[in-house]
Amino acid sequence: MDIFPFLVTVFLLRSIKNAIKVNPHLKMWEKTVNLLITISIVLVTAQLVFDHDHVTRWLWNILLLSIIWLIQKNEELHSIKTFSYSVLPFVIISLIKDIGNLLNDTDHGRFNGYLTTAKGFAAIWIFASWYSANRQQKTLEKE
């Protein structure tokens, strides 16, 4: 079971919540964010209860891509766009790994180690981007 997609989802949704707090014009997004939080909690619970990891991995990818698409599509959420870009490599690598697992390709087994390493670097990039965005946000709030 991989808990990291849940953590990435929490970071993305937390960033949207922080943007809502700073900008009162974004209040209309609060219901959507709360719905996405509920979906992610249901999904992580289903992942823990049911042992269908291959299904939940695809659902996490769909959820993360949907959140990124939501952020990219709406100009009101432009302050979070750069952070959402940092999540894309993680999702793309996850999709490649899942497609390889689905196809049971022999070449996939050879590249699985590389993909796992790349996924680790993508995770580090997400945390670094999140940390940087939070520092910038705190600096802006002080001014």
Reported as a pLDDT band with limits 50, 70 and 90, residue 97 is confident
Reported as a pLDDT band with limits 50, 70 and 90, residue 35 is very high
At residue 89, the pLDDT reads 93
Which tokens in the block code for residue 83? 């952070």
Which tokens in the block code for residue 17? 């919540």
> Structural domain of residue 117, as residue ranges?
4-142
Q: How many CA atoms lie within 13 A of 130 on its CB side?
A: 18
Predicted TM-score (pTM) of this structure: 0.84
Average pLDDT, the chain: 85
Secondary structure (3-state) at 36: helix
Reported as a pLDDT band with limits 50, 70 and 90, residue 136 is confident
At residue 109, the pLDDT reads 66
Buried/exposed code over 61-90 (b: 16+ C-beta within 10 A; e: otherwise): bebbbebbebbeeeeebebbeebbebbebb
Number of structural domains in the chain: 1
Cα-Cα-Cα-Cα torsion 32, 64, 120, 131, nearest 10 degrees, comes to -30
pLDDT at 1 over 60: no
